[in-house]
Amino acid sequence: MKTTTLQKTRKVTTETGDPLSQLRPVKQAGAFLLMLFATLFFALFMSSCDDDAKEEEDIRPESLELIVANDFEAMYGQTVKLDASQTYDKLEAPIEFHWEALSFPGDHFLEEYLQGVHQSAATFQPYDVGEFSFRITASTEYESQTAMLRVSVDAEVVELAGNLNDLKETWVPTTSRDG
């Protein structure tokens, strides 16, 4: 009789189930809900961060005004001032500047030719006659603007005449002054 009772007990236990096995689907559902909640919370958090950045951009109007002198002519041997000192930010944000030479006579432009590259006004000493092109970049924390400036460098008219082994030379300007 004991054998029969044991079998019935096992059968009854199997039919009613182990209390731990009954909790397994509840645990799985709870874990699923927890993961779903965490994912939704993370997505909400990330979207709110993006919205803050977009709101900052929407709230802050373009306020940087880059003001550079017009293209101009200069004489060889004179220091040339590249001026963007009238540049301002309407919201008074700090402005950083960067000047760079883009095109120039000859095949190289040494860094020492251009002084004050991180200031609103830079200077350069022309090493040759011809056209020099510069780019100025003005930047704040929120925006950046660039402008171009061309400087035509010419030499003074010098006329040399005389008997130098029967050689006569005349020097004339290399660029037009018609503008």
Q: What is the pLDDT of residues 105-138, one digit of tens each?
A: 888 888 888 999 999 999 998 888 999 999 999 9
Residue 170 pLDDT level (bands cut at 50, 70, 90): low
Q: Which of 116, 136, 121 is nearest to 82 (CA)?
A: 121
Q: Report the alpha-carbon distance of residue 143 to residue 103 in Å, rounded.
A: 26
- The strand pair at 114-115 and 121-124 is best described as antiparallel
| Homologous superfamily in CATH for domain 64-170 | Immunoglobulins (2.60.40.10)
Mean pLDDT confidence for 41-49 = 75
**Per-residue tokens: 140:** 């704040």
Calculate the average pLDDT of the chain: 78
Cβ atoms of 153 and 129 within 8 Å: the answer is yes
pLDDT digits 0-9 by tens, 72-93: 999 988 999 999 999 999 999 9
- The strand pair at 144-154 and 72-75 is best described as parallel
| Domain spans in the chain, listed from the N-terminal domain onward | 2-59, 64-170
Cβ atoms of 174 and 105 within 8 Å: the answer is no
